[in-house]
Amino acid sequence: MKMAKISVNLETVRDKIIAASLRRPAEYKYFEPRLVAVSKIKPVDLIVDAYKAGQKHFGENYVNELVEKSTHPSILETCADIRWHFIGHLQRNKVNKVLSVPNLFMIETVDSEKLASALNNSWPKFRKQSDLNLKLNVMVQVNTSKEEEKSGCEIPDVCTLVKHILDNCENLKFVGLMTIGMYGYDVSNGPNPDFLSLKECKELVSKELAIDSKDIELSMGMSSDYEHAIELGSNSVRVGTAIFGERPNKGT
């Protein structure tokens, strides 16, 4: 895919984000949604093209792939202000690897107290000497669809996990909640129940832990439903196919 096509796709997605933002209830209009371009299994040159077209936030699902891309000479030389989001399942034995990523912006998939503690304990070894007080942005992933194959903490455990981060993880900054949700939901049937569930989790966390709801972001919505997610109050959408085109199966 050529840079011109990437630029056109990005512009189309951004226009749709703006349009969806205008359709939101007034209560959500205090923020502009963040676009995270999901670049998994896509080559470095397409990431560079998207960056040159003004995209700063990129999401990767696999630790090894993120490490390889983030340390690629073309990325280091051309994309000085790139911001990486890790959006895949993170095993504790991969924590040090993901924290070594240059320009790591956020881990969106914290799903247990053990993982949160591991990130908290390791982060001081990786942050820059000039930013010794810089906390690692994290989101708690929630398995709103209750599918066994999906990662994420269970809904009843959300407040407990967030409280653990706030009380025991001084090196982490709790940013909000993330869900993947069930694939292929038809929005003509009404609001996505996974998105509604994540919103309910946000309100519960806000109430139980005395956090202003405006300080709890929601990361929900992908290529097929990001406009719908924004209309329901998503702060961040993770869009891959609509920007980079269909991706091949991993390993092909």
Reported as a single tens digit per residue, the pLDDT across 146-202 is: 988 889 999 999 999 999 999 999 999 999 999 998 888 888 889 999 999 999 999
- State the DSSP string of 74-140: HHHHH-TT-EEEE-S---GGGHHHHHT-TTEEEEEEE-SHHHHHHHHHHGGGTS-GGGTTPPEEEEE
**Per mean pLDDT, which range of 26-30, 140-144, 180-184 is the poorest?**
180-184
Which DSSP state fits 171? T
Residue 247's pLDDT is what? Answer: 65
Residue 3's pLDDT is what? Answer: 67
What are the pLDDT digits (tens) for 47-96?
A: 999 999 999 999 999 999 999 999 999 999 999 999 999 999 999 999 99
- CB 152 within 8 Å of CB 141: yes
Q: How confident is the model at residue 242 (pLDDT cuts 50, 70, 90)?
A: very high
Residue 251's pLDDT is what? Answer: 45
Question: CA 198 → CA 157, 176, 178, 221, distances in Å?
Answer: 13, 10, 8, 11
Helix axes 158-168, 113-122, angle to 10 degrees: 20
Three-state SS for 8? helix
Three-state SS for 236? strand
Distance from C-alpha of 40 to C-alpha of 37, rounded to nearest angstrom: 9
For residue 98, list its beta bridge partners.
none
Q: How confident is the model at residue 4 (pLDDT cuts 50, 70, 90)?
A: confident
Work out the percent of the chain whose per-residue pLDDT is above 90.
86
Residue 203's pLDDT is what? Answer: 98
* H helix count then E strand count, the chain: 10, 8
What are the tokens at 16?
A: 């749709």
Residue 131's pLDDT is what? Answer: 75
pLDDT above 60 for 252: no
pLDDT above 60 for 34: yes
Residue 188's pLDDT is what? Answer: 83
158 alpha carbon, distance to own chain's centre = 17
Please state the rounded mean pLDDT for residues 124-133. 78
Distance from C-alpha of 109 to C-alpha of 138, rounded to nearest angstrom: 8
Q: How confident is the model at residue 129 (pLDDT cuts 50, 70, 90)?
A: low
Distance from C-alpha of 214 to C-alpha of 150, rounded to nearest angstrom: 27
Please state the rounded mean pLDDT for residues 7-12. 96
Asked whether the whole model's pTM tops 0.75, one would answer yes
pLDDT above 60 for 127: yes
Instruction: List CB contacts of 19: < 8 A, sequence separation 6 or more.
Output: 227
Residue 223's pLDDT is what? Answer: 93
